[in-house]
Structure 1
Amino acid sequence: MRLDQAYEYLLFSPKWYHLPFIVLMLPFSIIYGAFMWLRRAVSSPKDFGISIVSVGNLIVGGSGKTPFTISLASRLDDVTIISRGYGRKSKGLVEVSCKGKILASVEQSGDEPMLMALSLPKASVIVSEDRHQAIRMAKENGAKLIILDDGFNRVEIKKFEIILEPEKIKNVLPFPAGPFREFWFTKYYADMVVKEGRDFTRVVEIDEPQSKMLLVTAIANPQRLDKYLPKEVVQKVYLKDHDYFDEGEIRKVMDDCGADSILCTSKDRVKMEGFDLPISELKLKLNIEDDIIKKIQSYIQSSL
């Protein structure tokens, strides 16, 4: 097991033998959590003169922000999504798409922004470390609404905060002793806390399933996929979150385990463009309750 995989187990599903490390890291977690809380408490958010909705979470790694953002943006008009673009091989501001027209490669955009760009033919996507610069570009391009991907920690920006409440997690400590980016109670700073089963539901389908499939994925905490995997998965290959894939290495593993196809998530699939391999895709769609959409639309109207 790789070191990063072992650490993910410690963060999300700690065992009794992880306790010494957690106790050792506890003072650092408290200091880090206190700093993040103080930073939030003294912030003075800047109003950019445009409706901004942030979709974020409190834990490191994935929690469904990307499919939630896609589902939300598909039901709103004149949307520009702004993301940092984790895992991309570029720097600075990159316009990934403009009203559905793809303007960058996945290496320039990162996997999640490219997935959003391909999934939203009426929206625009921008990646930038400097969110302020990206917001200004979105306004210049005529956006009426900005969705800030993973924006809860951007406390200097005035926005409507949506937090995705994670599934039950045993370890509720802040980093580095736990998976939380801030103290768990900072979720109450959000305008809306949404939860699966109450505010949205997941629909998971497999496109082009085969009798023997090799799971290949580069997402955080990949064990969360287990409950959606069919019995036809004969082996699993986990890479680090946002990693890129080597076609030759995947083919070798497929031959070794006798798999008929790769099984990957939609986020992984965008990085396999041009691969001469049979691919089965684990597609995830979120259905957001109408009441949630109405509350967001109400915010948009009130901020005009």
Structure 2
Amino acid sequence: MSLAQTIQDAWNRQAKWLILLRPLSCLYAAAFQLNKQLYLKGIKKRYVAPVPVMVIGNITVGGSGKTPLLIQLVKYLQQQHIRVGVISRGYGGQGPFPKKVTLASIPQQVGDEPCLIVQNTEVPMVVGPNRQASIELLLQDHVLDLIISDDGLQHWALQRQIEWIVLDQNRGLGNQRLLPEGYLREPISRLQQSTVIEHGFEPQSDLHMHLQVAKPYLLNPWDDRSELFDADLDYYAVVGIGYPQRFYNTLESIQIKRFQCHEFPDHYDYELDDLQFEDDMPIITTEKDAVKIWALIKDQADYRRQIWVVPVEACLSEACYTLFNQQLEKLGIHIPSA
């Protein structure tokens, strides 16, 4: 097990030995606050884009459901004929940056989540660590009403007009400690400064979402019989996301009871050997993992193991859309009345 996986496991278990990392957490907090204040006080320059910017992020390390939320908001805006574009860090991609994301893009170049976003929405999108450069490249080819930044909540060099923080109800805030003692990127007080969208089935807030599971589909079909999904089979659950337990809960929710867990780090760059097992049991995985796995196996004609993908869609409360419309209205972006 790698160091990153060891610490991730300790966070999830809230292991007592994490207190040994508190001095490092204090250093992280001091450096983070200093950098933030330098930007907020104008000592470091912040980029103000020529169109409004919305940031969707979280204050925790690992998955929270922000990508499905972003995809849903993009679809909503497109349905309302609002011209929207997306930028992202492109974590896991090798560039060169900034780089446009298209349906032909591969995860090795632009990252897995950007590929997933564009495959689901065909939204104009650019990735790269320099958000200003990404926005400028995006605006070269597109006239936009709104730009959504996938993550980047802590990227203070980018001015933003709307901030949504996704808070996973199931995972919570762990031991409520900053990195690396805990998995918080920012203090809990940050939740008071932005719009918080609670992710879970038993929300305490009107602003909430949950993930609706759709029927699994076969990533690599080769005959008619293979199109029939069977929840009673044994599966290898191959997953490389920030919070794997969410995927296991999803499998159980669709009555898949027998699966062997094969966890990899978030944004893991799969190799073919990772998908090889001694028997012919099928694999089941997430859409985020599937974009990387497909890029790996699509030219492997002799790879015959079934790989099933479980798609999910963010379902937002009506209060989320009401607030979103109000926030857009304040920016001069008008959503037509129903």
TM range (shorter): 0.7 to 0.9
Q: Tell me which residue corresponds to 1:81.
A: 86
Greater RCO, CA 8 A, separation 6+? 1
Code of the aligned partner of 1:23: I
Aligned CA distance change for structure 1 residues 201 and 220 (closer, same or farther; 3 Å): closer
Q: Is the 1:87–1:111 Cα contact (8 Å) retained in structure 2? A: yes
Q: Is the 1:12–1:178 Cα contact (8 Å) retained in structure 2? A: no
Q: CA deviation at 1:206?
A: 4.4
Code of the aligned partner of 1:224: R
Tell me the alpha carbon deviations over residues 3-47 of structure 1, each in whole angstroms, 9 at most, x when there is no partner: 3222101123223xxx2x322211221231233234334414543
| Aligned match for 1:195, one of 193, 198, 213 | 198
Tell me the alpha carbon deviations over residues 190-232 of structure 1, each in whole angstroms, 9 at most, x when there is no partner: 2x11102342122123414331211111112312322222344
Q: Is the 2:131–2:158 Cα contact (8 Å) retained in structure 1? A: no
In structure 1, C-alpha distance between the alignment counterparts of 2:126 and 2:325, rounded to whole Å = 22
Q: CA deviation at 1:268?
A: 0.6
Percent identical residues:
24
Tell me the alpha carbon deviations over residues 154-207 of structure 1, each in whole angstroms, 9 at most, x when there is no partner: 2232211111123323311000111011112122222x1110234212212341
Code of the aligned partner of 2:259: V
Q: Tell me which residue corresponds to 2:49.
A: 48
Please say if 1:26 is aligned against 2:47: no
How many pairs does the alignment contain?
Answer: 290
In structure 2, C-alpha distance between the alignment counterparts of 1:157 and 1:89, rounded to whole Å = 22
Map residues 1-304 of structure 1 onto 2, 5 A cutoff: 1-15=1-15, 19=16, 21-42=17-38, 43=40, 44=42, 45-76=46-77, 77-97=82-102, 102-121=103-122, 123-140=123-140, 141-159=142-160, 160-167=162-169, 168-190=172-194, 192-196=195-199, 197=203, 198=205, 199-208=208-217, 209-210=229-230, 211-230=233-252, 231-251=256-276, 253=277, 255-256=278-279, 258-259=280-281, 261-273=282-294, 274=298, 276=303, 277-304=305-332
Cα RMSD over matched residues?
2.0
Q: CA deviation at 1:63?
A: 0.9
Q: Is the 1:215–1:233 Cα contact (8 Å) retained in structure 2? A: no
> Per the alignment, in what secondary structure is the counterpart of residue 270 of structure 1?
helix
In structure 2, C-alpha distance between the alignment counterparts of 1:40 and 1:280, rounded to whole Å = 43
Q: Is the 1:205–1:282 Cα contact (8 Å) retained in structure 2? A: yes
Tell me the alpha carbon deviations over residues 230-267 of structure 1, each in whole angstroms, 9 at most, x when there is no partner: 3443312112211222334413x2x34x51x1100000
In structure 2, C-alpha distance between the alignment counterparts of 1:245 and 1:27, rounded to whole Å = 34
In structure 2, C-alpha distance between the alignment counterparts of 1:137 and 1:290, rounded to whole Å = 34
Q: Is the 1:206–1:283 Cα contact (8 Å) retained in structure 2? A: yes
Q: Tell me which residue corresponds to 2:225.
A: none
TM-score (norm 1): 0.88
In structure 1, C-alpha distance between the alignment counterparts of 2:328 and 2:174, rounded to whole Å = 36
In structure 1, C-alpha distance between the alignment counterparts of 2:288 and 2:317, rounded to whole Å = 24
Aligned CA distance change for structure 1 residues 227 and 104 (closer, same or farther; 3 Å): closer
Q: CA deviation at 1:78?
A: 1.4
Q: Is the 1:217–1:239 Cα contact (8 Å) retained in structure 2? A: yes
In structure 2, C-alpha distance between the alignment counterparts of 1:166 and 1:40, rounded to whole Å = 25
Q: Is the 1:81–1:149 Cα contact (8 Å) retained in structure 2? A: yes
Structure 2 unaligned segments of length 5 or more: list them. Answer: 218-228, 333-338
Q: Which runs of 4+ in 1 moved over 4 A?
A: none
Tell me the alpha carbon deviations over residues 64-104 of structure 1, each in whole angstroms, 9 at most, x when there is no partner: 1111110111101211110011111323111003xxxx252
> Per the alignment, in what secondary structure is the counterpart of residue 168 of structure 2?
coil
Code of the aligned partner of 2:139: K
Structure 1 unaligned segments of length 5 or more: list them. Answer: none
In structure 2, C-alpha distance between the alignment counterparts of 1:235 and 1:74, rounded to whole Å = 34
> Per the alignment, in what secondary structure is the counterpart of residue 311 of structure 2?
strand
Q: Is the 2:247–2:286 Cα contact (8 Å) retained in structure 1? A: no
